[in-house]
């Protein structure tokens, strides 16, 4: 099953944005996301908008379709501001030939010192590709490691072997990447404490300066979901995932990696992913490619999911947007709370949030010293129960944002 797009209003064919959305464009940080919707095989847990061989989706011409959408962005925005961050995600971007990725990056104007991230699967990059990406301006490589335990990789349907991610991280360093990140998943069926410890030891061996670690979620429509529904695999256990989180946080801190968002740890301020920071702070970004989400000045839109539909529209000079919405003040306040509470800097509280915040601090979920300054900062236990805290602080009737997880095809 494909991922679902949010409901919304129809988007105009020319992609035009209202004047209020364009006001101040370029004075706020601006990011570009490029979704690359191809994978060598589909992992059983993944519901991202991606296509595997045999599904009739061609990879050639893909970069031209993305650059055609960029031309549309130039017209709609009256000039795309130089991007402070670019994130090429997927899918598996490194399934495109390196020269195509180089051509893509050359077509996306960036501000001096821009952060440029490329996502890669450990078995889809070699030393030559990495050098070519670095020379083309990529500054970060994000590798999907998930686990160092062979049987967990099998359960997750990953195509790589346990040592591949560490080897790829070393190759990235050798190619000149100072910023290398590993994605981990914990709490997969059959994962034991020693498997998670081995994964954390592999992070140490890889010597990376950033880690994203997510509890496994069972997404409707995935193979994992079907296995769990018919009892072939157990549902991930929340208590066990909480234990993994505590252990992971302590091990990463011992490596000098500090949390800066609930699921993200970095060795320094420079090692943090500034692009994802733009999503969490509701900055402006344009998402290029099928299923990509964008947000400019309070207007959010999302592209058609299928790569052929996207290419048809973009090449024809028409907007590939499937729908859009203008965020209300209520939605913006809600998102500010739901996303802001997850950050290390904490959430500056509104007066109405004082009472629930006091109750959360009494329960040990918020830091009392930060609260005294009017900031909601999650404790370790608060990070584990972040949804409870977010719900308690949410202003007005709760309506979740359409972007589900950092790294989805907004790329958010
Ligand atoms: C969609 S992938 C794209 C990058 C690359 N294709 C890869 O697999 O590494 C981004 C990350 O999302 C995380 N992810 C995807 N689906 C997930 C799920 N159901 N539960 C937890 N993490 C998930 C994985 O850690 C993955 O590395
Ligand atoms: S997790 Fe990554 S490699 Fe696996 S199907 Fe999803 S996007 Fe592709």
Give residue-wise pLDDT tens across range 283-292: 999 999 999 9
For 88-108, the pLDDT digits (tens) are 999 999 999 999 999 999 999
| Separation CA 277–CA 283 (nearest Å) | 8
User: How does residue 406 score in pLDDT terms, banded at 50, 70 and 90?
Assistant: very low
Measure 262 CA to ligand 1 centroid, in angstroms: 16
Distance from the alpha carbon of residue 73 to the mean position of ligand 1, in angstroms: 28
- 185 pLDDT band, cuts 50/70/90, is very high
Q: Which pLDDT band holds residue 412 (cuts at 50, 70, 90)?
A: very low
Q: Mutation test of ligand 1: which of 2, 36, 93, 144 has the most ligand atoms closer than 8 Å to its C-beta? A: 144
d(CA 327, CA 232): 42
Residue pair 38/59 in contact by the 8 Å Cβ criterion: yes
- Per residue in 55-74, pLDDT (tens digit) is 989 999 999 999 999 999 99
What would the mean pLDDT of 188-201 be, rounded to a whole number? 97
Q: How high does pLDDT run on average in the chain?
A: 94
Write out the DSSP string of 120-137. E-GGG--HHHHHHHHHTT
From ligand 1's centre to the CA of 205, what distance in Å?
Answer: 21
**Model pLDDT, residue 124:** 87
- Structure confidence at residue 154 as a pLDDT band (50, 70, 90): very high
pLDDT of 404 higher than 50? no
Under 8 Å between Cβ of 278 and 29:
yes
The reply to whether ligand 1 has any atom less than 6 angstroms from the CB of 363 is no
pLDDT in the model for residue 7: 80
* Rg of the chain in Å (alpha carbons): 21
Q: How far apart are the first and last CA of the chain?
A: 20
C-beta separation of 142 from 118 below 8 A: yes
pLDDT at 397: 58
Cα 365 to ligand 2 centroid, rounded to whole Å: 33
Report, as an integer, the average pLDDT of 306-324.
97
Helix (H, G, I), strand (E, B) or coil at 88: strand
| DSSP 8-class letter at 269 | T
- 187 pLDDT band, cuts 50/70/90, is very high
- Report which protein residue has its CA nearest ligand 1's atom 16: 46
The pLDDT, as a whole number, for residue 93 is 97
Contact present, 282 and 336 (Cβ < 8 Å): yes
- Residue 91 CB–ligand 2 contact under 6 Å: yes
Tens digit of pLDDT for each residue in 124-139? 899 999 999 999 999 9
Bridge partners (DSSP) of residue 299 are: 296, 326
pLDDT the model gives residue 403? 35
CA pair distance 408, 360, nearest whole angstrom: 30
pLDDT of 316 higher than 50? yes
- Calculate how far, in angstroms, residue 166's C-alpha sits from the geometric centre of ligand 2: 18
Evaluate whether 265 touches 182 at the Cβ level (below 8 Å): no
The answer, yes or no, to whether any atom of ligand 2 lies below 6 A from the CB of 48, is yes
183 lines ligand 1 (CB under 6 A): yes
Q: SS3 for 191?
A: coil
> Which tokens is 213 given?
């670690």
pLDDT band at 398 (very low <50, low <70, confident <90, very high): low
Q: Does residue 177 surpass a pLDDT of 80?
A: yes
Task: Compute CA 261 distance to the chain's CA centroid, rounded to the nearest angstrom.
Answer: 12
Q: Cα(389)–Cα(401) distance, rounded to whole angstroms?
A: 16
pLDDT of 353 above 70:
yes
2 pLDDT band, cuts 50/70/90, is low
Ligand 1 centroid to Cα of residue 103, in Å, is 26
Q: For ligand 2, is residue 222 a contact (CB within 6 Å)? A: no
The CA 154 to ligand 2 mean position distance, Å, reads: 14
CA of 265 to the centre of ligand 2 (A): 21
Percent of the chain with pLDDT over 70: 95
Partnered with residue 340 across adjacent β-strands are none
| Distances in whole angstroms, Cα of residue 265 to Cα of each of 3, 291, 401 | 27, 27, 23
257, pLDDT greater than 70: yes
| Alpha carbon distances (Å) from 237 to 189, 197, 204, 252, 299 | 9, 18, 26, 22, 37
pLDDT score, position 395: 83
90 CB within 6 A, ligand 1: yes
Is residue 115 over pLDDT 80?
A: yes
Confidence at residue 101, expressed as pLDDT on a 0 to 100 scale: 97
CA distances from 19 to 23, 24, 298, 299 (A): 6, 10, 11, 11
Is residue 180 within 8 A of residue 143, CB to CB? The reply is yes
Give the residue carrying structure tokens 């590939």.
320
Residues 259-291 have pLDDT tens digits of 999 999 999 999 999 999 999 999 999 999 999
Residue 59 Cα to ligand 2 middle (Å): 16
What pLDDT is stored for residue 95 in this prediction? Answer: 95
Which pLDDT band holds residue 401 (cuts at 50, 70, 90)? very low
Do you know the residue count of the chain?
A: 412
The reported pLDDT for the residue numbered 3 is 75
Distance CA 368, CA 156 (A): 40
Instruction: Give the residue, out of 89, 143, 144, 145, with the most ligand 2 atoms within 8 A of its beta carbon, to mutate for a pocket test.
Output: 144
User: Which atom of ligand 2 approaches the CA of 121 most closely?
Assistant: 3
Q: Sorting pLDDT into bands at 50, 70 and 90, what band is 256?
A: very high
**Nearest Cα to Cα of residue 108 among 92, 84, 129:** 84
8 Å CB contact between 307 and 37: yes
Token digits for 78? 């009256």
9: DSSP letter = B
pLDDT for the residue 225: 97
Q: Is 185 in the pocket of ligand 1 (CB under 6 A)?
A: yes
2-11, 28-37, 251-260, 325-334: the lowest-pLDDT one: 2-11
Q: Which atom of ligand 2 is nearest to the CA of 42?
A: 5
- Its pTM stands at 0.95
pLDDT of residue 408: 36
């Amino acid at each position: 099953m494909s991922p679902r797009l949010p409901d919304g209003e129809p988007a105009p064919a020319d992609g035009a944005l209202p004047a209020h959305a364009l006001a101040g464009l370029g004075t706020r940080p601006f990011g570009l996301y490029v979704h690359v919707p191809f994978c060598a095989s589909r992992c059983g847990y993944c519901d991202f908008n991606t296509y595997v061989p045999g599904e009739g989706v061609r990879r050639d011409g893909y970069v031209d379709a993305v650059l055609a959408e960029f031309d549309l962005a130039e017209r709609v925005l009256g000039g795309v501001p130089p991007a402070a961050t670019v994130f090429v995600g997927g899918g598996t971007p490194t399934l495109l030939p390196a020269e195509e990725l180089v051509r893509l990056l050359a077509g996306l104007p960036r501000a001096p010192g821009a952060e440029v991230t490329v996502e890669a699967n450990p078995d889809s990059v070699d030393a030559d590709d990495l050098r070519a990406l670095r020379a083309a301006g990529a500054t970060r490589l994000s590798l999907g490691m998930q686990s160092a335990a062979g049987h967990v990789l099998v359960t997750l349907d990953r195509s790589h072997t346990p040592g591949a991610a560490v080897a790829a991280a070393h190759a990235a360093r050798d190619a000149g990447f100072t910023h290398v990140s590993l994605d981990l998943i914990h709490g997969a069926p059959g994962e034991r404490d020693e498997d998670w410890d081995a994964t954390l030891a592999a992070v140490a061996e890889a010597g990376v300066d950033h880690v994203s670690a997510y509890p496994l979620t069972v997404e409707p429509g995935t193979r994992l979901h079907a296995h769990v529904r018919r009892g072939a695999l157990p549902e991930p256990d929340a208590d066990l995932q909480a234990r993994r989180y505590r252990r992971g946080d302590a091990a990463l801190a011992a490596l000098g990696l500090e949390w800066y968002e609930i699921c993200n740890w970095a060795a320094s301020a420079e090692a943090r992913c500034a692009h994802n920071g733009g999503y969490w702070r509701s900055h402006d970004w344009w998402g290029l490619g099928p299923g990509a989400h964008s947000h400019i000045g309070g207007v959010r839109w999302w592209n058609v999911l299928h790569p052929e539909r996207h290419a048809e529209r973009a090449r024809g000079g028409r907007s590939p947007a499937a729908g859009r919405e203008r965020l209300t003040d209520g939605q913006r306040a809600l998102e500010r709370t739901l996303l802001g509470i997850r950050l290390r800097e904490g959430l500056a509280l509104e007066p109405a949030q004082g009472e629930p915040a006091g109750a959360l601090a009494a329960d040990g979920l918020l830091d009392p010293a930060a609260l005294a300054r009017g900031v909601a900062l999650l404790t370790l236990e608060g990070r584990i129960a972040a949804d409870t805290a977010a719900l308690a602080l949410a202003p007005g009737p709760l309506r979740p944002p359409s972007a589900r997880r950092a790294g989805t095809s907004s790329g958010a």
